[in-house]
Structure 1
Amino acid sequence: MSTFGQVVRIAFWGCLEFNFLLLYLFFVFFPYMTIATMRRAHIKNKVKRKMIRNGMPRNKAKIYAKKYQSFLAGYGSIKGIYRISKIARGFKKDEEEESENIPEIDSKNSLGSYTIV
């Protein structure tokens, strides 16, 4: 095959794959991200209304609702759940290490106070 034929074949497949990428972006990725953003905004407003109804000041409710929305954006997926469990497992390891370093009380010495081993 000639070099020109190879160039044409590569250009054809490149254009075809680029079109598939655009189709995926327009019909799958962008709608998914738009719907996810709208859901987070709806949940944020619902949480804010509920906090205001329960007696929280409006400004404070707005701040807490925004924090909750950013929490959902970061952790509201399978990837986020994995991230939370990874953090929790890390904290458990730290707590176990700290508990190993706690000094033990051996026994009373002659003065009646406890000695630390």
Structure 2
Amino acid sequence: MGYKAVEIDELKGWWIDYVVGTQVCNRRAHILWAAGGYGADLTFEDGNGKRLKFSPSTSWGDAGPLLEEFKVSMKYEGNKGWTASVEGGDSHTHLFPLHAAMFALITSKVKDGYRVPTY
């Protein structure tokens, strides 16, 4: 498995969850690649070494604790979508509220670039 550097606007799908999990939350990721590298099953280790799903870009259950911990506020902007702002950090607007929140969190907390796995 290799890695590549990407810009924030290149983060899509499970790559968003990977960056949040590994670079914001400092969790160890495990990736089970689909045949040919077309998709992946992503899990993260909890404090006890148990592998758990963690999808903050699509699950309010996973995102909620992060929004609270990092003090992320959300505002609906009509046709522009949602603007998420991290207290003392960056803001990001996206059509999907959890994407806006995760992008704001990523750009606020990760300052040395974004690395994602490749098949």
TM-score of Structure 1 vs Structure 2, range by shorter chain: under 0.3
The alignment's TM-score, normalised by the length of structure 1, stands at: 0.24
Larger radius of gyration: 1
Higher RCO, Cα 8 Å, sep 6+: 2
Higher strand share: 2
Q: So what's the TM-score if we normalise by structure 2?
A: 0.23
